[in-house]
Amino acid sequence: MDFATLSGEIATGRIGHALSRLVPATPIWEREWDVCCVLDGCRLDLMREAAAAGHETLPDPDSVGSLWSVGSQSAEWMDRTFAPEHREAMARTAYVTGNPFSSQDCEHILVTSDEVLPLTADDFGVFHEAWREEWVDDDISTIPPEPLTDAAIAIWRNREELGVDRVLVHYMQPHAPFRSRPGWFFGSADIEHWGQFTDGEDDDEEVDLEDLEPAEREALEALAEAEAESDDDETDSMNDPWMRLRDGDLSFEAVWDAYRDNLEWVLDDLARLLGNCDGRVAMTSDHGNGLGEFGVWSHPPGTPVPALRRVPWAVRDGRDTGTCDPALPEEIREESGAGAGGSDGGDEIESRLEALGYR
């Protein structure tokens, strides 16, 4: 079996599920933390580079450790992190997320189960889908870190009343889109299709991945990270800088600098969290991003490649100095199904997921 065929087999889920589970993985529940910050799509070497540059939020580079993530893509990470065997820990945890995969069933991602997604308020002590209310469509379409940090600080300070003893915060940075390069990302998202494989012609028709040729699934780009092929430079993989880097449309230096800037964006706000939360604050990621290692670019699901699965683990001691005093999110204050987020909002979900490159 040649590499292209093997890549296609993994991408369609025929052997990806088994291979992915062969990688030794550590669920975050097995580590000690009070507040755990998941920095979406952060490579280990990127965080160590920021630490070496002396970012105030991070320990020294030698203290930036690692663990093997349970997934190589966000939905896969959620599926395994919030699996039934972790329900007891989840019941005492507040989950604050900026990642819209929390609302998706992800049946199209064949390495996920049908037991976990979409998440609901019943899964956690507190469940807050910050992306529903705090998404912005300015130069880029994403959720910035500030509202997530605000919610985390407020929940942590009110943890006894809320009945939780841990806060898990899922930031969207350093995941694309990159704030320093808005011109790389065009338009708003189409979020309901985030993570789905589409040929770009008829979104209402399901694509049978079994019928695709290996060449159409080369380098594990199918499923969540696949973009419709196009001769139009403005639309071909327009929201995925990793594909454009692979294709030579962008330089490594430009992409890496923008990626690093997005990491600094979230790290700058984590300094505020460290200054307003007493306790053990961990920083990690759900997955990394492939830069051509073993032919893999971006972060397709079911991919047992170290560049995607070996993620940072750094810990700092937070100290509440009271420099900010954010309020609890309204739905938590009202105790009206915390985190339920109101209506399904399919069109809204579509637009936000596409902005993050899952179209």
Average pLDDT in the 351-355 region?
67
The answer to whether residue 320 scores a pLDDT higher than 90 is: yes
Domain residue limits at 265: 3-186+239-356
Higher pLDDT, 203 or 133: 133
DSSP state of 59: -
> Is 180 inside any structural domain?
yes
Quick check: helix, strand or coil at residue 128? strand
Average pLDDT in the 33-43 region?
98
Question: pLDDT (tens digit, 9 = 90+) per residue, 175-230?
Answer: 999 999 999 987 545 444 344 333 333 333 444 445 545 544 443 343 334 333 33
* Percent of the chain topping pLDDT 90: 69
Question: pLDDT (tens digit, 9 = 90+) per residue, 168-177?
Answer: 999 999 999 9
Higher pLDDT, 12 or 316: 316
> Is 80 inside any structural domain?
yes
Contacts for 183 with CB less than 8 Å, ≥ 6 apart: none
Average pLDDT in the 123-142 region?
94
Higher pLDDT, 19 or 338: 19
What distance in Å separates the CA atoms of residue 72 and residue 191, rounded to the nearest whole number?
Answer: 20
Average pLDDT in the 296-308 region?
95
Complete edge-to-edge strand list for the sheet that includes strand 166-171: 65-68, 310-318, 279-284, 35-39, 166-171, 93-97, 126-129
* Residue 326 pLDDT: 98
* Residue 24 pLDDT: 84
Higher pLDDT, 20 or 308: 308
Please state the domain count of the chain: 1
* Residue 209 pLDDT: 46
Quick check: helix, strand or coil at residue 356? coil
Average pLDDT in the 335-343 region?
42
Name the E strands within the chain.
35-39, 65-68, 93-97, 126-129, 136-137, 141-142, 166-171, 279-284, 290-291, 297-298, 310-318
* Residue 309 pLDDT: 97
* Residue 184 pLDDT: 93
Average pLDDT in the 237-251 region?
88
Q: Say if CB 284 and CB 68 are below 8 A apart.
A: no
pLDDT level of residue 349 (50, 70, 90 thresholds)? low
pLDDT level of residue 32 (50, 70, 90 thresholds)? very high
Question: pLDDT (tens digit, 9 = 90+) per residue, 139-148?
Answer: 999 999 999 9
> Is 225 inside any structural domain?
no
Q: Say if CB 195 and CB 106 are below 8 A apart.
A: yes
> Is 218 inside any structural domain?
no
* Percent of the chain topping pLDDT 70: 73
Mean pLDDT of the chain: 83
* Residue 138 pLDDT: 87
> Is 92 inside any structural domain?
yes
Burial (CB < 10 A; 0-12, 13-18, 19+), residue 34, is middle
Average pLDDT in the 278-284 region?
98
CATH number for the domain that contains residue 77: 3.40.720
Higher pLDDT, 344 or 315: 315
Give me the half-sphere count of Cα atoms (radius 13 Å) on the Cβ side of residue 48. 13
> Is 281 inside any structural domain?
yes
What distance in Å separates the CA atoms of residue 86 and residue 219, rounded to the nearest whole number?
Answer: 33
Burial (CB < 10 A; 0-12, 13-18, 19+), residue 295, is middle
Question: pLDDT (tens digit, 9 = 90+) per residue, 47-100?
Answer: 999 999 999 999 999 999 999 999 999 999 999 999 999 999 999 999 999 999
> Is 303 inside any structural domain?
yes
Whole-number Cα distances in Å, 216 to 18, 111, 127, 179: 22, 19, 38, 31
* Residue 47 pLDDT: 98
> Is 221 inside any structural domain?
no
